[in-house]
Every structure is written in C-alpha cells, then in structure tokens.
Chain A
Amino acid sequence: MGNKQTIFTDEQLDAYQVSLFSFSRLHGRYHELAPHLVPMDYTNEPDCKLPLALIVNMPELKENPFRNRIVESFSEDGMGNLSFNEFVDMFSVLSEMAPRELKAIYAFKIYDFNVDNYLCKEDLEKTLNKLTKEELTPEEVELVCEKTIEEADLDGDHKLSFADFENMISRAPDFLR
C-alpha cells in the first residue's frame, strides 16, 4: 500500500483504457507538480485542480509558445485550472496516438485566442507573433495573415471557421504533432 503508490481501482483503469504503468506514471507527474495538493489515493475521486502557472512549467510544455492556450483549452473553467481528468485528457490528445480529427479539433481551440469559435485576424496575428517571437515587422505580419485568410477561407467572411480550418489542416502533409 504505502504512501508513494498511486491507488486506482481496476474499474477506473478500465474506464480510462490504459495500463496501470503508464497511468500511474502520468499521475506521478501530476502529483509532482503540487505534492501537498494532489492526493495519492484516487479511488474516491477527490476534487482538486492545479493552477495554470504550475502546469505550464512542465518540461514538455515549457518551450511551447502556445502552452498557455493549450492548458486553457483543456480546462473546464477556461482559466487554466486542470483537474486530473483534464490533465489526462490533455496529454492523451497531445500524444501521437490520438486520432487526427481529434487533434484538429483541439488545435482549432488552441489557436482561437478570443474563444469566439472563429480564427479572426487578431487570432492569427497573435499566433504568428508567438511563433516567431515577434521577429517579423508589422507589414510582414499583415501580409502573412492576409495570405492565410485568402488561402483557407471558403465562405468569404474573412475569418476561419472550424470547417475552413479542418479542410485546410486535413491536407497538410505533416500535421501529426
């Protein structure tokens, strides 16, 4: 039993459809972020959430320019506080085994900074600036965003809906990560 072992019942593992090994490793990582907050024993479904600041410092996410958006889009309250279920959800979508459609859905959510279900020009500008660490001049940023909307917008409203996005991303040769 011990204090250092995560405890899940077989039913819980079964529902998540994972092996105990990988699941307890995942929970170990979650626990590491805030040892005093996260209990080891999950059989009774405790209700604890970790704040954005802690999660964004994980080594897998630290270098990612979109880390804040990633965590926010998986949290229920939209502020970036993740419970363990949401944590598992996030990593399962980010893993290589997630289906492509699922990744497309979450990618759209991540790039949608103002959460209005459309990728408008401001969203694109923010994305680009995060990608290039603001090395491009404003004219160049303008040009790129214009070109992007021109390429992918099918219904002519000068912003990208999810259908536009999915249409474009499904043809991308290396969209797997």
Chain B
Amino acid sequence: MSTAGEQDAGLSLQEEHESKTHRTKRRDGDRQKKKRRNERRKGGTRAGEGEEDLQAVSEKRERSKRKRAKSKQETSRRENNEEEEAQLTGGKGTKARKDIRNEKTRRMEKEEVREVEENVDKGKKKQGSTKKGEKKEDGGKQLVKGKAREVKKKKHKKTSEEDDDEEEDNDKDVVRLECLSPEELEKLKEAVDERKKLIQSLRGKPWAMKKKLVTLRESQEFVEKYEGALGKGKGRKLYAYKVLMTKKWMKFQRDFENFKTACIPWEMKIKEIESHFGSSVASYFLFLRWMYGINMILFGLTFGLVMVPEALMGRPYGSMPRKTVPRAEEASAMDFAVLWDFGGYAQYSVLFYGYYNNQRTVGWLKFRMPLSYFLVGVGTVAYSYMVVIRTMARNANESGVGDDNSFNFSWKMFTSWDYLIGNAETADNKFASITTSFKEAILEEQESHKDDNIHLTRFLRVLANFLVLCCLAGSGYLIYFVVRRSQKFALDGLENHTWWERNEVNMVMSLLGMFCPMLFDVISTLENYHPRVALQWQLGRIFALFLGNLYTFIIALMDEINLKRKEEKIVKFNITTWEASLYNGTVSENSTASPVTIHPADVPRGPCWETMVGQEFVRLIISDTMTTYITLLIGDFLRAVLVRFLNYCWCWDLEAGFPSYSEFDVSGNVLGLIFNQGMIWMGSFYAPCLPALNVIRLHVSMYLQCWAVMCCNVPQERVFKASGSNNFYMAMLLVILFLSTLPAIYTIVSIPPSFDCGPFSGKNRMFDVIHETLESDFPPWFSKVFSYASNPGLVLPFILLMVLAIYYLQSTSKSYREANVELKKKLQMVISVLFFL
C-alpha cells in the first residue's frame, strides 16, 4: 500500500516538476492562463489526494466487509452484472470509475480530448487492475450499500463529485499536452517505453508476487495515461486506437498460445512417464510423437493427392484389365487369408501402384494423375529431408557448446536432482544414482594422478570394439551365406525343402536380431562408459547389425524384380500372339475393326513388379508390427505377471533375482522406430497406402507402449538425463532416410516401368512424365528454358558452386565457434580479475 501511495505521490510530484520547468520556458506569459492552470493543477493534486482518501476509505470498508460472507457472493454477482451494464453505458453501476465512464459517454460528442481519454479508460477497464482496482470498486460499492435506497441520488452526487475530479484530471492532461515542448514529449515517450519494457520483463524478475502485481498495475496506468495522449491532434485518436488494437492483439496471442499448449496430444501421458522413469524413457515417447506428426503429413499428401483423386475421378473398378482381379484368382479374392496377405481385392485397389491408370488427365478437373503421383513421391522424400535437417539444426542450437569439465563437482551438487520426479521409487533410484555418481567422481579425483587406469581403459575399449567388429562381420557373412542358399533353393523349387529351409533367411535374421544386441550389451560392460555414451555405442552397433538385414531384403527384392521383368518379356510376346489370334477370328467374319468385347478379367495380364514390391513392403511392416506387439505382450507383460504371481510360491525372490521386471529398452525401441520409418520411405512410392498404415500403427503403438511401460516396467538402475541423445536419433534417422531413398531412386531412374500397370505404363522411364508435362502443359518457351537449364554444361558448374558455398559456410562456422571459445576464455579471465580487484 505505502509504496503505491508513494509512487502516486511521486508521480504527482513529477508532474508538478515538469509543469514548473515548462512554465519557465514559456514566453507568452498570459497571466490569466497561468492562474487557471495553477488552479487546475492544484485541483489535480487534490484529485490525486481525493483518490487516495477514497482508497483509505475503501480499505476500511473492505475489512469490515470481510466479516460478512454472504455479501461476497452478492458483490461478485453484482460486479458481473455491473460490468455488463457498464458496457451498455447504462445503468445502475455504482462503482466510481464506471460512473465517470458513463458521464464521459454522454460528453463524447462534445470534446475530442475526452473521447481519447475515454477510449484509453475503456481499454484500461478491460485490461484492468488487480488488488487496488478491486478494492476501489468495492469501496465504491460499499458507499452505495450503506445507503441502499437512494442509489440514484448517490450516483448523481458521486458522479458529479468525481466528474469534477476527472474533469480536472482531463484538463490537467490536456494542458500538459498543449504545453509540452518536443524534448519533453521525447522524454515522456522514453519513460512510457521504459515502463512498457518493464511490463514485458516482469515475469523474469525475482520479486515477490505482491510487488510484481503492484508494479504491473502502476506501470500499466502510467503507460495508458500518457500513451494515448502522446499522439498529436487528429492523429491522437488513431494512435490511441492503434494502441488499443495492439493490446487486444497481444491478449489474443496469449490466449492462442495457451490454447495451443492445451492442444498438444498425449502431453499428460508423457509427463507422467517422465516423472516415473526419467527423461531418457520419455525421450523415446517424444520421438514417437514427432514421428507421428511427420507421418500424418505424409499421409495427407499421399491420401489427398494420389488415392482420393484416383478413387473419385479415375475409371472405376472393373473397367480395365489392370483394375480387375484376373479370372483365375477371382474365386479366392475375398478370402481373409488372401486379403491379409494383401492379394485379391486389396491388390487391385488404390492401395497399390498397379491400379493406377496412365491416362494423362483424369476427370472434369483435368487432374494430372501420373504427374501428381510422381511429384507426391518426390515431395514426401523432400519434405522428410527438410524436417529432419531443420530439427537437427534446432537441436544443435539449443545444446550449445557445453563441453567443459571445469565445474564437475559443482554441477553434480547443484544440478543432478531431477525436479520432475514425483514417484517414490524413482526418487530412491535417483538418490542411489546420485550417491554412486559422487562416489565415482571422488574415486576418479583421488586416483587421477595414476596413469595405469587410462591405459587399461583404453585397451579394454579397443578390445571391446574389436570383438564387436568380429560379431558384425560374422553375422554379415552368415546372412550372405544363407541368402545364397535360399536363392539356390528357390531355383530348385520350394516344395522339395523342409519348412526350416524355406524360411531360413527370416529365421536367421530374427535370431540374430534377438541375440546380438544382448551380446553387444555384455561386451559394452568392458568399456566402462557413462551410460549415455554407452547407449549411443549400443545404438550404433545394433544399427550396423540391422543394416545387414536391410541388405538381404534389398537383394531379395532385386532378384524378384529381375525375375518379373524376364517374365514380362515372355508375357508381352504371348499377348501379341493372343491378340493376333483374336483379330484373326474377327477378320474372318469380314467386320471392320469391331471392338472385341472381352471381359477385363479374362485379358491375360503382364506381371507388375511395382505392385509386388509394394506388397512386400506392406507385408514386412505388418509382420514387424505384429512381432513387436507380441514380444511386448509376452516379454514384458507375461513376464511381469509371472514374476508377480509366482513369487508367492517360488524358492528364490523372483522380483529381485533372476527374471525380475523388465526395464524399458530405449535403444531397441528407438531403432525399431527408425527402421520402420525407413521402410515406409522406401515403399511409399510403390504402395501409397503405407503412410496411412503407419499412422494407424504409430497411434496404436503410442497407447499400447504407454500402458505397457507404466504397467510392466521398472525404472532403470542408473537414471540418467537424455539431454544429448536427441540429435543422435536425428542423425540416425537422416542416415536411414538417405539409405532408403537410394533404392527407390535407382529403380525410378534405371528400370523401365511395367507395360501393363501403373500410372507410368507405356513410358520408357518413369521420369518421362515430367518431360511430357513440360511439353504439353506449359507454354513452348518454358520447355526451351528448361532444356537449356538441364544442359550438363550448366548443371555441373552449378553443382560446383554449391560445393564451394558449403565449404565456405563450414569454414566460417568453424571460425565463429573458435572465436566463441576465445571470447569465453577472455570473459572468464575478466571476471576473475574483477573479483580480485
């Protein structure tokens, strides 16, 4: 209270001072004017004092009112009513300011200045004040309560009183405006700006809440009082209006921000997991959510621009050979087993490449279907690159340069506690890990002068890496050997071999995928890294292992593609003979080129390697998903159930001893997610349904895994912060993106499309569609320009230029980083010097 009063007094003092200095500057000394001004000024201060009196009164009344509980509700109700009524400029509003405003609305037509003030006040009412404002209004209310019947009379009396005060205030301000010189206006503007800055930065100040609220209200009052009045003449109205709009806009922005935060999906779930399991487990779920966002966009692109136009505007099912199930397969086309395998009706639908027609334009919109198909394929890859690189850049900026070990113990002491932990078990783990970490640091400190440890550690690490390399080489050779064998078996015909030999490749890959990571885990205990670093090494190694899987998959696919292409040649030959036989039959009847009506299902079909590729990918994703979910249910859930219930009748303590509850495997899950996404990128060109499938899969995964984590897993032994891992995941994702777009690009560029299916059938290469579009859809000069631009003579120097630009940017960024380090050192030196002085 007192500080506010002082500040008010201070303000009025300031006003007096300003007016004094101005008086001395003014040359036209009209005494009468001066006298009037003096009187008004005194009235102004009187008004100020009057306000303070009113405040004191209202405070007293406040305290007495507090004893009556009922009145609170009444007054709040009345406040709400009064606010509404005041807006209508009507009514029974008995609060002081509202009265003034009402009076002002009446006088609005008369004076321009009054209008400005009123606008400012209206804005102020909405943006409002807090304690003191409320108290003032309550005080006003109290006055009325005391004399309930004679409300109107009171109002008139009060309004007239306060009207005078306000009038004097207004006049005071009017006078101020007119007689301020430009320098004073500038100063005033600066003061207003300063106050505005204060309001902005108020959130970051460490003051007590009360002080902040009081300062906020005063600063707002000050700003509003002088801001609206700073514009000159006619511009004043516009200026005040602009200020009002800015304020409304800021409020709108703030509300929108709050709304946006409330809209983020799964936020509460993830926060709960974070508090139980620490931030490394939560980082997996954040990554999952981010992937979900990307897949939604990809889904939007493929669904909206490829699947929907074809479904709505393309030729319907059954109208063309490529869109119909062949006669031979028709009987089984609706079986569940066939559909689950994505054959039958699923195969001949918008879900796969083969369904699309190669008509240049489709429907009444003249939608360029093949062009759209091609561009969506390119666009999904381009978008993914952009998003991944942008996220990496943002993460890199945030993580900063923090690499020094200069404050090791201090940081351990002050920053190791995770304030987000809310669970007793996690807290216990955290305490234990902090203690261990301190003990480790102490041990290191005590033994830091010995050299043997370093050599031993280095030797062990080299040994571990060697072992891992042996493992990887071994598994690579094994996969190669098995693939070779299965190709030999396929040539022999699959029926001659046992189940094992038929499914050898899949089984070997699954077994490797299960046992090698465990082996890597054991080997990594030799290395003795910080858990975060160990996690990264583990991820890297499993990544290399999974690359082997990828390699076999691609080899198998390429083999099948080549097979299908050979078949295609044979089929093409057969079709020409078949057609010839048909026409031979009709010609003998002497009819002139009558269209032979054969049901599309009976036409012999060429093999469609693209659809086959799409189907393979879809089957892979489905089987991968099923495997993950089943491992989750059995490995985690069943294990937890067994441990919990068998514990009652088992000889040793299951919960602490051998099986115990499983920990959440962050590295395995992250890698699974990344490889899954790689498959999607590879296959979505040939099967537009893949992003849709993935969206469903990620959605289900999110809920299933959130439940499984909370229900069956325990927090890890060594709880560590995952701050550095994010860019690591992104880097792996980028590598996979690159690797997975390579095969797709290769097939687009070098393999001719099937002649009988898909939007590019009949062309020599798939990208010919671009050429065709340029020729037919754009004006002729465009294609000329384009042909010049795609001339190698122009493209090569351009590429060279880009390489040079990259080199230049990299060297400047390196030099900036070095300058940064230098500056930091200088700063440290300066600070220490300052302290000694």
A residues near B (Cβ < 8 Å) are 1, 7, 9-12, 14-15, 17-19, 21-22, 41, 43-46, 59-60, 62-66, 76, 85-86, 88-89, 92, 94, 98-99, 101-102, 105-107, 111, 124, 127-128, 131-133, 135-136, 140, 143-144, 147-148, 151-152, 154-156, 163, 165, 167-169, 171-175, 177
Which of B138, B406, B836 lies in contact with A44, CB distance below 8 A? B138
Does B422 sit at the interface, judged by CB under 8 A?
yes
Contacts of B249 in A (CB 8 A): none
Contact assessment for B415 and A111 in the assembled complex, using a CB-CB cutoff below 8 Å: no
The yes or no answer to B731 lying at the interface (CB within 8 A) is: no
Q: Is the CB of B409 within 8 A of A144?
A: yes
Point out the residue from A135, A152, A156 that lies within 8 Å of B407, measured CB to CB.
Answer: A152
Q: Which among A15, A169, A174 is the interface contact of B721 at CB below 8 angstroms? A: A174
Given A151-B407, A152-B410, the answer on whether A64 and B417 have CB atoms closer than 8 Å is yes
Indicate if the CB atoms of B414 and A143 lie closer than 8 Å: no
Assembly CA distance A102 to B75 (angstroms): 38
Taking the closest CB of chain A, its distance from the CB of B647, in whole angstroms, is 26
A88 with B209: CB separation less than 8 A: yes
B205 → chain A, closest Cβ, in Å?
Answer: 8
Instruction: Give which listed residue, B62, B133, B831, contacts A154 with CB less than 8 A.
Output: B831
Pick from B134, B259, B408, B416: contact of A43, CB below 8 A: B134
Cβ contact within 8 Å between B422 and A155 = no
Question: Could you jot down 7 A-B contacts, CB within 8 Å?
Answer: A1-B77, A19-B258, A43-B76, A106-B206, A131-B434, A147-B408, A173-B400
Closest to B208 in A: A76
B559 at the A interface (CB under 8 A): no
Contact B255 A148 (CB under 8 A): no
B-to-A contact residues, CB < 8 Å: 62, 65-66, 72-73, 75-77, 79, 126-131, 133-135, 138, 203-206, 208-210, 213, 216-217, 251, 254-255, 258-259, 262, 399-400, 402, 404, 406-411, 413-424, 426-427, 431, 434-435, 438-439, 441-442, 445, 721, 723, 831-832, 835-836
Alpha-carbon separation in the docked complex, A15 to B217 (Å): 8
* Ranked 3 nearest A-B pairs via Cβ: A11-B128, A173-B402, A85-B209
Q: Which residues of B contact A133 (CB under 8 A)?
A: 431, 435
Do B435 and A132 touch (CB < 8 A)?
yes
**CB of B161, distance to nearest CB on chain A (Å):** 24
Separation of A91 and B645 alpha carbons in the complex (Å):
41
Kindly state the separation between the CA atoms of A70 and B421 in the bound complex, as whole angstroms: 15
Contact assessment for A15 and B128 in the assembled complex, using a CB-CB cutoff below 8 Å: yes
Cβ–Cβ contact B251 & A172, under 8 A: no
Question: Which residues of chain B are within 8 angstroms of A43 by Cβ–Cβ distance?
Answer: 72, 75-76, 79, 134
Beta-carbon contact of A45 and B435 below 8 Å: no
Contact between A11 and B836, CB atoms less than 8 A apart? no
Pairwise interchain contact B79-A65, C-beta atoms closer than 8 A: no
A85 touches B77 (CB 8 A): no
Contacts of B217 in A (CB 8 A): 15
Which residues of chain A are within 8 angstroms of B831 by Cβ–Cβ distance? 154, 167
Collect the chain B residues with CB atoms within 8 Å of residue A111's CB.
414
| Residues A9 and B836 in contact, CB atoms below 8 Å apart | no
Are B213 and A85 in contact, with the CB atoms below 8 A? yes
Nearest chain A CB to B268 CB, angstrom units: 12
**Given the complex, which residues of A lie within 8 Å of B130, measured CB to CB?**
11-12, 15
Most buried by A among B135, B204, B206, B431: B206
Interface of A is mostly: helix
A contact residues around B435 at 8 Å (CB):
131-133, 135-136
A144 lies within 8 A of B422 (CB): no
A156 contact set on B, CB distance < 8 A: 835-836
Give B413's nearest chain A residue, CB to CB. Answer: A148
Interface of B is mostly: helix
Tell me the bound Cα distance from A156 to B835 in angstroms. 8
Q: Give Cα A174 to B837, complex, Å.
A: 32
Chain A residues closer than 8 Å to B259, beta-carbon distance: 19
Contact with A168, one of B251, B410, B423, B836 (Cβ below 8 angstroms): B410
**Set of chain B residues within 8 Å of A143, measured between Cβ atoms:** 442, 445
**Known contacts A43-B134, A156-B836, A177-B420, A169 near B415 by CB under 8 Å:** yes
- A147, B73: Cα distance in complex, Å: 60
B79 and A9 within 8 A (CB): yes
Query: Chain B contacts of A65 at CB under 8 A?
Result: 417, 431
Establish whether residues B422 and A60, one from each chain, have CB atoms under 8 Å apart when the complex forms. yes
How far is A123 from B77 in the complex, measured between Cα atoms in Å? 51
Contact B407–A168 (Cβ < 8 Å): yes
Chain B: minimal CB distance from A117 (Å) = 13
Given contacts A15-B130, A169-B415, contact A151 B836 (CB under 8 A): no
How far apart sit A135 and B433, CA to CA, in the bound complex (Å)? 11
Per the bound structure, the CA–CA distance linking A14 and B420 in Å amounts to 28
User: Which residues of A have CB within 8 Å of B421?
Assistant: 63-64
The complex places the Cα of A21 from the Cα of B258 at a distance, in Å, of: 9
A118 to chain B, nearest CB (A): 14
Contact of B410 with A64 in the complex, beta carbons under 8 Å: no
| In the complex, residue of chain B having the shortest beta-carbon distance to the beta carbon of A70 | B419
* Distance from A83 Cβ to chain B, minimum over Cβ atoms (Å): 8
For residue A43, give the distance in angstroms from its CB to the closest CB of chain B. Answer: 5
Q: Shortest Cβ distance from B75 into chain A, in angstroms?
A: 7
B417 near A154 with CB under 8 A, answer no
* Assembled-state Cα–Cα distance A64/B423 (Å): 10
Task: Please name all residues of chain A whose beta carbon is closer than 8 Å to the beta carbon of B254 when the two chains form the complex.
Answer: 17
Question: Across the interface, do A41 and B402 meet the contact criterion of CB distance under 8 Å?
Answer: no
CA distance A92 to B134 in the complex (A): 24
Are A151 and B410 in touch, CB under 8 angstroms? yes
B411 lies within 8 A of A63 (CB) = no
The answer for the CA separation of A151 and B828 in the assembled complex, in Å, is 13
In whole angstroms, how far apart are the Cα atoms of A32 and B836 in the complex? 52
Closest beta carbon of chain A to B628's beta carbon, Å: 31
In the bound complex, how far is the Cα of B275 from the Cα of A62, in angstroms? 13
User: CA separation between A21 and B402, bound complex, in Å?
Assistant: 37
Q: Which of A11, A46, A105, A147 has the most CB of B within 10 A?
A: A11
Are A140 and B439 in contact, CB atoms less than 8 angstroms apart?
yes
Whole-angstrom CA separation of A168 from B408 in the bound complex: 10
Q: Do residues B210 and A85 form an inter-chain contact, with CB atoms below 8 A? A: yes
Q: How far is the CA of A154 from the CA of B690 in the complex (A)?
A: 60
Residues of B contacting A144 with CB < 8 Å?
A: 409, 413, 438, 441-442
Give the residues in chain B near A17, CB-CB below 8 Å.
203, 254
Closest to A144 in B: B409
Kindly list chain A residues whose C-beta atoms are within 8 Å of the C-beta of B131.
Answer: 45
CA distance A175 to B254 in the complex (A): 27
The answer to whether A171 and B76 have CB atoms under 8 Å apart is no
| From A44, A140, A155, contact of B438 by CB (8 A) | A140
Given contacts A99-B203, A99-B204, contact A7 B76 (CB under 8 A): yes
Check A15 against B62 for contact (C-beta < 8 Å). no
Contact residue among A9, A86, A89 (Cβ-Cβ distance under 8 Å from B134): A9
Chain A residue with Cβ nearest B400: A173
Complex CA–CA separation, A132 to B419 (angstroms) = 15
**If the complex has contacts A15-B217, A41-B73, A85-B210, are A171 and B407 also in contact, measured as CB distance less than 8 A?**
yes
A43 to B75, CA, bound (A): 9
Would you call B208 and A89 a contact (CB within 8 A)?
Answer: yes
How close is B61's CB to chain A, nearest CB, in angstroms?
Answer: 11
Provide the bound-state CA to CA distance between A152 and B426, in Å.
30
Known A-B contacts A131-B416, A143-B445; the reply to A11 vs B133 at CB < 8 A is yes
CA distance A60 to B255 in the complex (A): 26
Minimum CB distance partner of A66 in chain B:
B417
Instruction: Decide if A105 touches B76 in the complex (CB within 8 Å).
Output: no
Q: How far is the CB of A72 from chain B (nearest CB, A)?
A: 14
Contact yes or no, B66 A107, CB < 8 A: no
A131–B417 contact, CB under 8 A? yes
Q: Once the chains are docked, how many angstroms separate the CA of A152 from the CA of B406? A: 9
Chain B residues with CB under 8 A of A15: 128-130, 213, 216-217
Given contacts A41-B76, A44-B134, A140-B442, contact A171 B404 (CB under 8 A): yes
Residues of A within 8 A of B400 (CB): 173
Question: Residues of B contacting A94 with CB < 8 Å?
Answer: 419
Q: Which B residues lie within 8 Å of A11 (CB)?
A: 127-130, 133-134
Chain A residues closer than 8 Å to B415, beta-carbon distance = 169, 172, 174-175
Bound-complex Cα distance A12 to B126 (A): 11
